[in-house]
Chain A
């Protein structure tokens, strides 16, 4: 069973109502995760990374139309009744959010919120549920855990609240953990602690993790594989090492080359990607990245590029990967 897919997403589309008709936020995303695997969805705002993530728990407003296949631990998420969905959320798949201050109810003690989640899904006494919560707090290394269980959310610092939210997410022993920019609001010194904690828990519990981030460095720290999203599509996906060292989609290349840490000398200009991400309601024909791409040719405007294999388990949605490969090697060398 170890080869069974924990997450099996194929041809996922998500449409939201827009003022001038439906807006396609996610367009044809394929994503497969085995047990114990971490995939980072890397992208900018509006790229569809969070919408993809939320589809795995069907957290969209009812007006959203979801198409394609979404299976988590063998269950067809798109066909579940609301009762079945409630049973899925927690014991099978759970999520941690960017702002733990908003994710917790401010008027209840954190320990009580964890106990409530546990007792909603399992027949446990209050004492047993509290023991579970305490063990979780120890697991995520919150100092003086017994005392902290009685804290209200506002009594904790940002880093500790994020640890508490991880504890809440793990309370019902899920198999799949979804993380939506969980460290973006934290200081770098705290961010690295939380990333290391997530990596450790993922390894020990054998979780499948989908980690959404806009920060390449964060993706490198946590992910086995990286999926780069642009305008609702995965434009490049592969083992983290290959995507970082041998990026083949011009957008991935642009992200890597425009980083300030990559600047040749202080004061020189950064190799910024020109333009801005496209309006999802008004996408250009063909490749969505074409208007910003230095390698674009007329053919790029014709059809949406198919995924091309550019290495072992590494693909890019670009018709000019041979050119982009040479160009990138020339710049980096």
Chain B
């Protein structure tokens, strides 16, 4: 705890430790299982393998999009990175330093990583005014009342809410779009480097969603931010992201540069997700659903490739052996599918 320390200068040159080539965030072998563990008197219950061995990194200044169906572990991954819940295993490095270590304590880490949630109303304290909400973080981290209030007004202005009109309002006096702007302002109050946006625009009306997406792009340029952008809307993820990670049942199915991944998806699951988006062409409506059934439960995932029971290209091999992420095209495009491994012996490769 470093209470009393003044907030670091915005965009200060000293903040970047490892240089531009070092990833801002580096996650290795992240695992989180929920459920009852076997104890002295208790039997082990069913275990939800929410996140089951996830590796990725986020480069400085980029936006990493994360997509997948409900239960794929995308929100759990965000919460693990944010240290809201503790991982069972895995390493999280922030600009080269292990989170929670001597060099980077939790408090210092949380100042640099902030999160915006989907439910703009539930994530605001109904008894705090907009100004107090935004000033809360700086106050906790030692800013004076006056400095925190000034900061709050400045941020309100930056997110497009006129401070004179909005500073004294309570959350219930705001529209959904305005509330989400307040949440974004609050997240920026400690001058973070990484912003985790977990379905942050999903609950907004379409005409407001576009405004908030534009705002996020502007703020990213202005404050030199890095984003982790989680959404179920593939069009929005494609628009926002430099690179995209597709998750399925707690694992990474595919990872790659946004354009490559959307233009030439290499994992059959990514292809099915893309094909599930509603068509915008009245003359070419969807005729066959790309996937049948609901997303499976992350309790007892199937052996082998976790997607194999729903996969149109599944072969005997897929039910026994689990594929790892392998290079699948240009840049760091990778997919966990036997079809990208020429030596896997998948029957479709021979054809």
Interface of A toward B, CB cutoff 8 Å: 44-45, 143, 157-160, 187-193, 195-196, 214-218, 220-221, 240-241, 244-245, 254-255, 258-261, 263, 266-267, 269-274, 276-277
Contacts and interface: CB of A to CB of B under 8 A. Distances in A.
B205 A259 contact: no
A143 B294 CA distance: 11
B226 interface: no
22 contacts: A143-B293, A187-B232, A188-B69, A189-B69, A189-B273, A189-B289, A189-B290, A192-B278, A195-B278, A214-B205, A220-B285, A244-B281, A254-B207, A258-B210, A259-B235, A266-B241, A267-B217, A270-B214, A272-B210, A272-B213, A273-B211, A277-B207
B276 interface: yes
A267 B208 CA distance: 18
A170 B237 CA distance: 37
A214 B283 contact: no
B22 interface: no
A220 B279 contact: yes
Given A270-B214, A276-B177, A214 B278 contact: no
- Residue from the set B207, B234, B280 with the largest chain A CB neighbour count within 10 Å: B207
B290 A270 contact: no
Interface in B97-120: none
B272 interface: yes
A276 B236 CA distance: 20
Interface of B: 69-70, 175-178, 205-211, 213-214, 217-218, 232-236, 238-242, 258-259, 272-273, 276-283, 285-295
Nearest to A183: B278
B282 A188 contact: no
Contacts of B286: 192, 195-196, 221
A240 B272 CA distance: 25
A157 B218 CA distance: 39
A217 B279 contact: yes
Contacts, number: 133
B278 A217 contact: yes
B295 A270 contact: no
Contacts of B241: 266
A269 B205 contact: no
Given A260-B240, A266-B242, 17 more contacts: A44-B207, A45-B205, A143-B293, A157-B294, A158-B70, A187-B69, A187-B70, A187-B295, A188-B277, A189-B276, A190-B295, A193-B289, A241-B283, A258-B207, A270-B213, A272-B213, A276-B177
A217 B277 contact: yes
- Residue from the set B206, B259, B283 with the largest chain A CB neighbour count within 10 Å: B206
A260 B210 CA distance: 7
A96 B273 CA distance: 25
Contacts of A159: 293-294
A270 B16 CA distance: 31
A261 B237 CA distance: 10
A255 B207 contact: yes
A20 to B, nearest CB: 15
A187 B296 CA distance: 12
A258 B286 CA distance: 23
A44 B206 contact: yes
Nearest to A47: B205
A272 B214 contact: yes
Contacts of B234: 188
A260 B278 contact: no
Which are the 7 A-B pairs with shortest beta-carbon distances?
A217-B278, A272-B210, A258-B210, A44-B205, A260-B239, A261-B235, A241-B282
A143 B292 CA distance: 11
Contacts of B272: 189
B206 A255 contact: yes
Contacts of B283: 241
A196 B276 CA distance: 11
B208 A276 contact: yes
Given A221-B278, A221-B286, A240-B282, A260 B273 contact: no
B290 A192 contact: yes
Contact of A216 (B205, B233, B280): B280
B67 to A, nearest CB: 10
B167 to A, nearest CB: 18
A270 B50 CA distance: 34
A315 B232 CA distance: 34
A191 B278 CA distance: 9
B173 to A, nearest CB: 12
Nearest to B177: A276
A195 B276 CA distance: 11
- Residue from the set B175, B210, B242 with the largest chain A CB neighbour count within 10 Å: B210
Contacts of B290: 189, 192
Contact of A270 (B176, B239, B276): B239
A187 B283 CA distance: 24
Contact of B280 (A244, A263, A269): A244
A99 to B, nearest CB: 14
A102 to B, nearest CB: 17
A215 B294 contact: no
B239 A263 contact: yes
A159 B279 CA distance: 20
A244 B234 CA distance: 20
A261 B241 CA distance: 13
A72 B278 CA distance: 30
Contacts of B235: 259-261
A220 B282 contact: yes
Contacts of A259: 206, 210, 235
Contacts of B176: 45
B242 to A, nearest CB: 8
B278 A266 contact: no
A188 B276 contact: yes
A188 B210 contact: no
Contact of B278 (A190, A220, A270): A220
